[in-house]
Homo-oligomer: A and B are copies of this chain.
Amino acid sequence: MGSAKGFPLHLSPPQVLVLGFAGVILAGALLLMLPVSTASGRGTDFLTALFTATSAVCVTGLVVVDTGTYWSTFGQVVILLLIQVGGLGFMSMATFFFVIMGRRIGLKERLLIQESLNQLRVAGVVRLVRAVLIFTVLTEGTFALILALRFSLDYGWPKSLWLGLFHSVSAFNNAGFDLMGGFRSLTGYASDPVVNLSITTLIILGGLGFATVMEIYRYPRTRRLSLHTRLVLRVTGLLILGGSFLFGLLEWGHILKDLPLHGKILASYFQSVTPRTAGYNTVDIGQLYPPTQFLIIILMFIGASPGSTGGGIKTTTFGLMSVTIFSLSKGKEDVELFRRRIPPWQVYKALSVTLLSIGLVTLVTMILSITEGGNFLAALFETTSAFGTVGLTMGITPALTPVGRVAIILTMFAGRLGPLTLAYAFAQRRRKTMVRYPEEKIMVG
């Protein structure tokens, strides 16, 4: 690891990010261990607290204890703060405090923010953070009110406001935590248009990536969308449409059977949006057909867009690989997209992120299938969910063995930081090759 100049202890930006995230998780775990954090007033063991804090900071949503009934309101507030810090990235939060405290933000802080938000350029990152924060507060606030109005039909007023705020923040940050009790997630609202459309809109806005949202916001004036944004929109649209269609096709006469027509359509749409990588569910995931569960695994693996609150290998990585195959099959030497050429090292990077991710999921699935016994598909599902920071489960999370819990904790952490930070570690240490070796071919495939 090359050390950047001037950082404390000579840490590179990826290293600072890793330590920062770890620090926030540990602080959160300690808070959650306190008796005041639980509804029962008893303390919580370290592994359970660590699991919950990691799941919150990594905006995953996998839980070993039920969020709505196990934790006190204080504990839930801690979880919500961890989600917000984890979702925006702790550097954005730190910048926010720098700004309101009137401190000057130097180049090294800017480099860290760039890393934290996965941006291509250093210029304008502070302005970006300000815009991100305004956008976040406005969006979360608006939908918190809409959801609170809806929940007020079922609950009293202060409770409804808290439910609206919690689920709005959790959905926008693609965290997937819920307060409905009994590990039920949003299954009580499978046919409800307000909850379905509010939550999916929050998920999609949070998952597009801030830079993309900004570009779309400015589009009426600029009349220009970057290659990145066009790819994000194309892939996101195709995955949501294709996913909804396939889910409906597979489950129409099964899990969707008893829902009214609009409920069938809403539930198909919801279950197509949520694997990328929100983690709420309005139908019981464990009761789906295996092919549907497999479809969800694929969607979870692809995930959201870069520089967003979501995880997975990212839409652009998936899109770039599809484009590579397409360009190659047309006999082109360059990888081309929307009349632009993609540099080879970017294609290599997409490939590396994907293969490292496949390797990680394979390894952890193998560990879980040893330690947890039983259903292989459930192990693959749980691992992919943790890697993609999704939070959906076929139901095995609360019963995980200690080794399984630790494996999932590490996978959530690697999933939140890995593809992003590993990729940036690659990109930053890229240097001109001094010696260029002669080419030689290999027979492939």
Contacts and interface: CB of A to CB of B under 8 A. Distances in A.
Interface of A: 118-120, 209, 211, 226-228, 231, 250, 289-291, 293-295, 298, 306-307, 313-314, 316-317, 320-321, 324-325, 327-337, 339-353, 355-356, 362, 365-366, 369-370, 376-377, 379, 419-420, 422-423, 425-426, 429-433, 436-445
Nearest to A429: B331
A444 B316 contact: yes
Given A328-B349, A376-B290, A426-B329, A445 B420 contact: yes
Contacts of A331: 426, 429-431
6 contacts: A289-B369, A291-B369, A306-B443, A320-B444, A328-B345, A377-B377
Given A294-B369, A348-B328, A348-B347, A341 B441 contact: no
A89 to B, nearest CB: 14
A218 to B, nearest CB: 18
B440 A341 contact: yes
In this complex, which of A226, A250, A324, A376 has the most chain B Cβ atoms within 10 angstroms of its Cβ? Answer: A376
Contacts of A118: 443
B432 A355 contact: no
B352 A333 contact: no
A340 B376 CA distance: 41
A127 B231 CA distance: 49
Contact of A333 (B231, B324, B432): B432
B353 A444 contact: yes
Contacts of A324: 348, 351-352
B328 A441 contact: no
A121 to B, nearest CB: 10
B291 A439 contact: no
Contacts of A295: 366
Contacts of A250: 370
A228 to B, nearest CB: 5
A304 to B, nearest CB: 12
Contacts of A366: 291, 294-295
A366 B292 CA distance: 8
B376 A341 contact: no
B334 A437 contact: yes
Nearest to A336: B437
A34 to B, nearest CB: 37
Given A291-B369, A306-B445, 6 more contacts: A211-B443, A290-B376, A331-B426, A346-B442, A346-B444, A347-B348
In the complex, the 9 A-B pairs of residues with the closest C-beta atoms, listed nearest first: A353-B445, A331-B429, A423-B445, A306-B443, A419-B445, A340-B440, A376-B377, A344-B344, A341-B437
Contacts of A228: 441-443
Nearest to A434: B332
Given A294-B366, A346-B442, A436 B341 contact: yes
Contacts of A341: 436-440
Contacts of A294: 362, 365-366, 369, 376
Nearest to A420: B445
Contact of A445 (B289, B317, B328, B342): B317
A445 B362 CA distance: 18
A278 to B, nearest CB: 20
Contacts of A425: 329
A234 to B, nearest CB: 12
Contacts of A340: 437-440
Contacts of A290: 369, 376, 379
